[in-house]
Structure 1
Amino acid sequence: MMKLDGVVAFVMTVEAGSISRAAQRLGLAKSVVSERLAELERSLGTTLIQRSTRRLSLTASGETFLPRAQRILREAEEATSELAARSGKLAGPLRISAPVGFGILHLGPALGAFLRDYPDIDLSLELDDNFVDAATGGFDAVLRHGAVGDGRLIARRLARSRRLLVASPGYMERHGTPRVPEELERHRGLLYSNRTGDWRFSAPGQGWSVIRPRAALRVNSGLIMRDAAIEGLGIALLPTFFIHEALANGALVEVDVGLQAEGAELFLAYPKDHGAAAKIRVFGDSLRRSFGSPPYWERRDLEKPSTDT
């Protein structure tokens, strides 16, 4: 008889791209996932995945079985969520991906509040600054800052965050303070390498104005950009959720060139008709309560809202 845990192991291995990564996401030993795959193949009487030392590939049988396996899991999750919602109790796995810097700074207390309210949910969080496809990446939902232009997904807005140009007081003393956008091109820019090197600003009645600063540093970490700006290495364009404390204590100051930078709103994105939709909704609601409205990184007092229930 085909077991559901074998189907889970198969789908997760395909979505993760390897047995090792699937085991990591499932919180299991690699040998356990391998055995469950083998047991599934024995029960079906066919090979689903062709294993080699370098990569895994689906056989013709695997290609045929994959969409059915995904549907089996989706329907099982939908049934479980529906029964749990009716009983007022949510339980089971919830897999979330989030950006590294935001997760380090803001998700710890927020997750604590969520798990106190829903102790029977088995939450897995993976931090990754690379693009994660919420529809096919093996996660129930993905936390993103920026627009989600994907028709396959539902995107719930969690909080807003402005992007501000910032520099250290020492940098401004040495290099001068730019007053208009054109002057930024003569300054040292600290740029986020996972986005285009352009800085985008909204000009009233004129659409977007694009500035291309001279790069002093390119890095795929907003936290390192913040620290480099504090050290006086250049000007950075960063969301307020990275820099609110540095602005409050004077380590950074805002560089005002008369234009508003493109924002960085936070969204929780997940596939339409997802089986774990009830758990995702309460997760999103919990994050919104923890962040506050407006979120604490947008408030001058910097006092985080209470997470006590």
Structure 2
Amino acid sequence: MIMKKTATFITFLALASLSLSACADPQVGTPNTTDTNDKTTPSATFDINQIETVPEIAALVPAELKEKGILLNGASTDYAPAEFRAADGQTPIGYDIDITKALAKVMGLKEGQTQHAEFATIIPALDSKFNIGASSFTITPERLEQVNMISYVQVGSSYAVPKGNPGNFDPADVCGKTVGILSGTYQQEYMQAKSTECETAGKESVKIMTHDLNTDAITKLVGGQYDAVLSDSTVTAYAITQTNGKIEQVGEVIEAEPQGIVIAKDNQALSEVIQKAMQYLMDKGYLKQILDNYGAGEAALNKADLNPGK
């Protein structure tokens, strides 16, 4: 997510008919129609079993993690196509979920698991609860002060507006507009900066509406309560599909930036293993295959940098 959580689970099924509001708990929800169920899953399942364990990488896995055998990822599973929920409303799916499984396979672990967590709570829970955070974290200088990050994709942000842009929302002039964003993300920082610019120019500030779930923001947008929602560009594109075209993108993609897997700052050993495993996935073409499965292949990077820009 910038956070740039530059990303929906089952609730989008409800949005498609506007008969239900987004759930407060992403583990709760029921599909609305068989037709929209197909939109919540990739066109084909990526076969993790085709990925090999790499002995020289597996040998570097910290002893405690190796003994446990499970790479545990924290992700806000409301940000499709990166991390969301399958039609059963329970199972995490998305390219970050598949990438976690792939990393575990390369590292010689039994499996890679993903558990839901609100986005802003993931970094504080590293090491104590999660081994990694694969949840659309944009790499920023501020975040690099908190955690180690391994780059793997590059994603920008874009605005979604109701179909036809009835509020005449202009990305170049957001002053006085009501904009929904996911709490703790780069988008929040971006909108706060824009709001400050408006105030400095003597204009009305931006009404920034933060949400713990991206689907809540999209629900408000579809219902006409917001002028726009700012999300990762991949998320915006997916949300358009999930709402059956009730929203659309306006303006160009903003500030494409690399995103990274987050790891506790003092866990250098795991950071280096994840970096090597990610580079292996890149070199073998597995990363792009996983992303292609969710229509995001163009976001793939070819170099897994540890703390790029530092």
AA aligned opposite 1:130: A
Deviation at 1:222, TM superposition (A): 1.7
Which structure carries more helix by proportion?
Answer: 1
* Alpha carbons 2:73, 2:112 under 8 Å: kept: yes
Q: Distance in 2 between matches of 1:101 and 1:252?
A: 18
* Alpha carbons 2:72, 2:132 under 8 Å: kept: yes
AA aligned opposite 2:112: L
Aligned partner of residue 165 in structure 1, secondary structure: strand
* Alpha carbons 2:75, 2:115 under 8 Å: kept: yes
For structure 2, the residue ranges without an aligned partner over 5 or more in a row are 1-54, 85-93, 200-204, 299-310
Identity within the alignment, %: 10
Give the RMSD, CA atoms, in angstroms: 4.4
* Alpha carbons 1:219, 1:225 under 8 Å: kept: yes
Q: 2:59 aligns with which of 85, 89, 93?
A: 85
Matched, 1:190 2:164: no
* Alpha carbons 1:85, 1:278 under 8 Å: kept: no
Q: 1:219 aligns with which of 208, 211, 216?
A: 211
Deviation at 1:155, TM superposition (A): 1.6
Q: Distance in 1 between matches of 2:287 and 2:218?
A: 21
Q: Distance in 2 between matches of 1:125 and 1:294?
A: 16
Aligned partner of residue 181 in structure 1, secondary structure: coil
* Aligned residue number for residue 63 of structure 1: none
* Aligned residue number for residue 127 of structure 1: 116
5 Å matches for 1:32-181?
84-85=58-59, 92-102=69-79, 103-104=83-84, 105-111=94-100, 113-114=102-103, 120-128=109-117, 129-131=119-121, 132-133=123-124, 137-143=128-134, 144-146=136-138, 147=140, 149=142, 150-151=144-145, 153-170=147-164, 172-173=165-166, 175=167, 177-179=168-170, 181=172
Larger Rg: 1
Q: 1:139 to 1:214 in 2, by over 3 A?
A: closer
Deviation at 1:187, TM superposition (A): 3.0
More RCO (CA 8 Å, sep 6+):
2
Q: 1:113 to 1:95 in 2, by over 3 A?
A: closer
Aligned partner of residue 276 in structure 1, secondary structure: helix
Matched, 1:266 2:262: no
AA aligned opposite 2:130: F
Aligned partner of residue 140 in structure 1, secondary structure: coil
* Alpha carbons 1:161, 1:239 under 8 Å: kept: yes
When the two structures are aligned, how many residues end up with a matched partner? 208
* Aligned residue number for residue 75 of structure 1: none
AA aligned opposite 2:114: L
Aligned partner of residue 292 in structure 1, secondary structure: helix
Q: 2:249 aligns with which of 238, 251, 254?
A: 254
* Alpha carbons 2:120, 2:183 under 8 Å: kept: no
Deviation at 1:242, TM superposition (A): 1.6
Aligned partner of residue 254 in structure 1, secondary structure: strand
Q: 1:114 to 1:192 in 2, by over 3 A?
A: closer
